[in-house]
Structure 1
Amino acid sequence: MNSAPGHVVDVPTDRGNVPVRRTGPLRYATADRFRPPVLVPAGGDVPVSGAMCPQPPSRLEAVMGPSRNLPQDEDCLHLRITAPATPAGPRPVLVFLHGGGFSSGSGLLDWYDGARISAEGDLVVVSVNYRLGPLGFLRHPDVAAGNLGLLDQLAALRWVAENIARHGGDPAQVTVAGQSAGAISLALLLRHPDTPRLLRRAILQSPVLGPLQTDLAAAEADGAAFLAALDGDPFTAPAEALLTARTAAAAHAVERTGSRVTPPFSPVVGADPVPATPPATGLEGVDLLIGWNHEELTAFGLSRAAARAAEGPTFAAPVAEFGAWATSAGARVTTYRLDWEPAGSPFGAVHCLELPLLLGDGAAWRDAPMLGDVPWSDVDEFGRVLRGEWAAFARTGEVDPAATEGHPISWGLGPQTPPTSPNS
């Protein structure tokens, strides 16, 4: 039973209004600057204001529209819980990790509100903040070990395991969904031995599996460029100075990679908690849903034709390679592609387009150029179908392609039976 306090709202569904309770923001961990997170003790909720990590403006505002401004503060390891208000047995849990290129975003933004999917799918939804930019991903031998944002995410999953039952959730039925940077994070965290014990299923939405990861040497070179540009001591300089120095590190990353897509601070392969080599086993019993949108890269200036041409090497091939590893390690894998092209949108099936179908509401997405001229009622109608598939996957590990027949989504591989050994 959900005994936690919170604000109850009615959510319209095809079954009538369903009351859901929003609880939080709550603190799941604390962290000193450039140090790993420390999990808060289990058994009690610590209400907080709900700040997001200090960050520059999102580079996807031209696609997604402006986000509601939240306070920015380094004390940002917060989460929010949305759950049906009617008492029931333990419900499946959906944890969401936001995107933003490891440099912007917050799980507490209205875009990522989980009320609709919670009410329709009878799920407990948890939206998570984590540290970004240099605060979350700087690696330098004298300052930070890197991957602190990933360690934050692991801490959030541990908090869920220890506390979600008090909010009506079933800790044995946790699905973690990540979008873009959140999906990349999840793909890398699946290499860590603790992760399969903290989740039952995972949904990876638009993971760029390659360019947004760095090796140790490249990460330390970007870190050195950051420190050279920083005015002050990295441990005491104001957050604004860190963001200014981030610009210099971004220029260094562009020069190093030749790509303006690669952020200066992103996960480091080979640093805790990401082993350099994916394990051969360890995903037994884990269900994975992985997919992308048909014209992702129009968000970054490509034409629709060029975005489709880049789909194979940027998404399809890396997802297939990742799926092959996950299957060999014991997981069951399902893939999808969102083909929706909203009328009046110049972007087509662009990066982030699935988000308003799954999370948030009409008010949160009213200024999103990627939705074109489509009335919110049509967005919500298609979204109800997609939310049903995500909720079914969170409950059973399977989707029903027949349920989306006539809708612009393509299903690739159905659930696969893991091989009996990595070599079979």
Structure 2
Amino acid sequence: MRERVKATLRDGTLVGVREGGVCRYGAIPYAQAPVGDLRFAPPQPAAWRGELDATGTGTVAPQLASRLRGAMGDFDAQQSEDCLHLTVWTPAADGKRRPVVVWLHGGAWQSGGGALDWYDGSRLAQRGDVVVVAVNYRLAALGWLYVPGQTANVGLLDQEAAIDWVCANIQDLGGDPEHITVMGQSAGASSICAMLARKPRFSRAILQSAALGRGFRSARQADALGQVFLRAAGADSFAAARALPVSALLAAQQAPEVVQALRDEGSSRSLFGPVLDGQVLPQDIAPALLKAAGRADVLACYTRDEMAAFPDHGTDAASHQMGDAVFGAPSRLWARQALAQGRDAWLARFDVAPTDRFGACHCIELPFVFGTLRAFAGAPMLAGLSAAHGEQLENRTQAAWLAFIRGEAPDWPQAPHLQILA
């Protein structure tokens, strides 16, 4: 049974829905729509007042299809530049101060969205009596295009603005602003590391398959790619790019000259991502990341066969070696560095492998973390998984994740112990 519920915030009243013992407030603007003069600009504070209909689902950032859809399956979600929204799942907006977890989705900074059914937070909220927040942020050129003299990494600034909104408002939604864990996967997890290298807004982090700085570009590299991209999109200046239709920016990602420029870079990075611009992020990121590891207690995990989700890779020895170099070794190093600086750190690896083709691939842990196996029903990577096995691993995963979110410990020793989840 669905019923309407209301939550009173300092900016106005949210109208959401209660279903199955959890209240959901969707499409809450944490910043103004980044359109017109605000395209490519840092996020500006949201300006809504009065009563806001939060019964719907927010649009996700404009994007092309994910390169991982062969493993994860695809999704059908409305896209719009007006995407700086978040979704809150809470047992009740009752003044109780529950632990809070903020989710930052993956997708190589090019695809995905916090508003997807894959990341429905209702199961976590209900099972753990916690508040779950899922964030949309700008993707690809809209969030990460670098042009010298302009603000870089506005997608990262979006994420920080969302966390600031949570800190300021979550007490009116049944959460504790002083007990926030930020959880991310892949690009989302690497973004958490970048935020910890800046001004930390939290002291607990869950890092799922984080490449931990591998996707970051120098300003010189990003400028070279950005110039090729702008020409391919049909813009001779940054101002001209603000006037282009979104479709032109998306099409330019696949322009032959852009694909060639990315190939010539020889880095195997995504086309867009964090830039070491010297202002938002330091030009020399290594010492900043070392210090960052000492700023948060951490639960870090990765999967046994990370690369099997990516085109042209599988579960062979070479793919396994690459996956461990990109995701496994950095996770273990981060945990060691956190412990050395007095932090708590736990490590886990997902070995669940329903198919021979995809094995325990990148993203395989997501349905178990969120309890959303139904939303992932069409995912090729899960083909053949029995209901009993899925439920068992979901229960075990959520128990550990929720213990960490509550400020407690998973039921295994700290790093360097590596807990296998299969």
TM-score band w.r.t. shorter chain: 0.7 to 0.9
Give the alignment partner of residue 265 of structure 1, picking from 245, 266, 272. Answer: 272
Q: Report the Cα distance in structure 2 between the residues aligned to 1:263 and 1:222, rounded to whole angstroms.
A: 11
Normalising by the residue count of structure 2, what TM-score does the alignment of the two structures yield?
0.86
Aligned to 1:14: none
Q: Report the Cα distance in structure 2 between the residues aligned to 1:44 and 1:273, rounded to whole angstroms.
A: 34
Q: Report the alpha carbon displacement of residue 179 of structure 1 after superposing the two structures with TM.
A: 0.3
Q: Summarize the Cα distance change of 1:176–1:254 in structure 2 as closer, same or farther, 3 Å threshold.
A: same
Report if the CA contact (8 A) 2:233-2:251 is conserved.
Answer: yes
Q: Summarize the Cα distance change of 1:128–1:83 in structure 2 as closer, same or farther, 3 Å threshold.
A: same
Q: Which moved more, 1:380-389 or 1:48-57?
A: 48-57
Matching residue's letter, 2:296 = V
Provide the alpha-carbon RMSD of the alignment. 2.5
Q: Report the alpha carbon displacement of residue 310 of structure 1 after superposing the two structures with TM.
A: 2.3
Report if the CA contact (8 A) 1:36-1:151 is conserved.
Answer: yes
Matched, 1:375 2:386: yes
Matching residue's letter, 1:85 = A
Matched, 1:186 2:192: yes
Aligned to 2:3: none
Q: Report the Cα distance in structure 2 between the residues aligned to 1:360 and 1:56, rounded to whole angstroms.
A: 26
Normalising by the residue count of structure 1, what TM-score does the alignment of the two structures yield?
0.85
Matched, 1:94 2:104: no
Q: Which moved more, 1:372-381 or 1:51-60?
A: 372-381
Aligned ranges 1:77-116 → 2 under 5 Å: 77-85=84-92, 87=94, 89-116=96-123
Q: Report the alpha carbon displacement of residue 272 of structure 1 after superposing the two structures with TM.
A: 3.9
Give the alignment partner of residue 385 of structure 1, picking from 385, 388, 396. Answer: 396
Matching residue's letter, 1:155 = A
Aligned to 2:23: 21
Report if the CA contact (8 A) 1:63-1:370 is conserved.
Answer: yes
Matching residue's letter, 1:317 = A
Q: Report the alpha carbon displacement of residue 290 of structure 1 after superposing the two structures with TM.
A: 1.2
Q: Secondary structure at the match of 1:307?
A: helix
Q: Report the Cα distance in structure 1 between the residues aligned to 2:409 and 2:329, rounded to whole angstroms.
A: 23
Aligned to 1:420: none
Q: Which moved more, 1:175-184 or 1:223-232?
A: 223-232
Q: Summarize the Cα distance change of 1:139–1:47 in structure 2 as closer, same or farther, 3 Å threshold.
A: farther
Give the alignment partner of residue 254 of structure 1, picking from 246, 259, 263. Answer: 263
Q: Report the alpha carbon displacement of residue 98 of structure 1 after superposing the two structures with TM.
A: 0.2
Matched, 1:218 2:230: no
Give the alignment partner of residue 359 of structure 1, picking from 351, 367, 370. Answer: 370
Aligned ranges 1:106-255 → 2 under 5 Å: 106-141=113-148, 144-193=150-199, 195=200, 198-232=201-235, 233-248=240-255, 249-255=258-264
Q: Report the Cα distance in structure 2 between the residues aligned to 1:250 and 1:165, rounded to whole angstroms.
A: 46
Matching residue's letter, 1:127 = A
Q: Summarize the Cα distance change of 1:350–1:186 in structure 2 as closer, same or farther, 3 Å threshold.
A: same
Aligned ranges 1:384-423 → 2 under 5 Å: 384-401=395-412, 412-413=415-416
Aligned to 2:300: 290
Q: Secondary structure at the match of 2:160?
A: helix
Report if the CA contact (8 A) 2:336-2:415 is conserved.
Answer: no
Q: Summarize the Cα distance change of 1:61–1:286 in structure 2 as closer, same or farther, 3 Å threshold.
A: same
Question: Which consecutive unaligned segments of at least 5 residues does structure 1 have?
Answer: 11-18, 403-410, 416-424
Matched, 1:315 2:322: no
Deviations 1:26-85 (A, max 9, x none): 000123101000122699775576111110011111101111x22211111000000113
Q: Report the Cα distance in structure 2 between the residues aligned to 1:349 and 1:52, rounded to whole angstroms.
A: 27
Report if the CA contact (8 A) 1:55-1:133 is conserved.
Answer: yes
Q: Report the Cα distance in structure 1 between the residues aligned to 2:7 and 2:398, rounded to whole angstroms.
A: 23
Q: Report the Cα distance in structure 2 between the residues aligned to 1:86 and 1:158, rounded to whole angstroms.
A: 19
Q: Secondary structure at the match of 1:413?
A: coil
Report if the CA contact (8 A) 1:146-1:271 is conserved.
Answer: no
The sequence identity of aligned pairs, in percent, is: 37
Q: Report the Cα distance in structure 1 between the residues aligned to 2:376 and 2:166, rounded to whole angstroms.
A: 28
Q: Report the Cα distance in structure 2 between the residues aligned to 1:237 and 1:65, rounded to whole angstroms.
A: 31
Aligned to 1:9: 19
Matching residue's letter, 1:134 = A
Report if the CA contact (8 A) 1:345-1:369 is conserved.
Answer: no
Q: Summarize the Cα distance change of 1:71–1:86 in structure 2 as closer, same or farther, 3 Å threshold.
A: closer
Deviations 1:285-327 (A, max 9, x none): 6211112000000011322123322243222322233334444
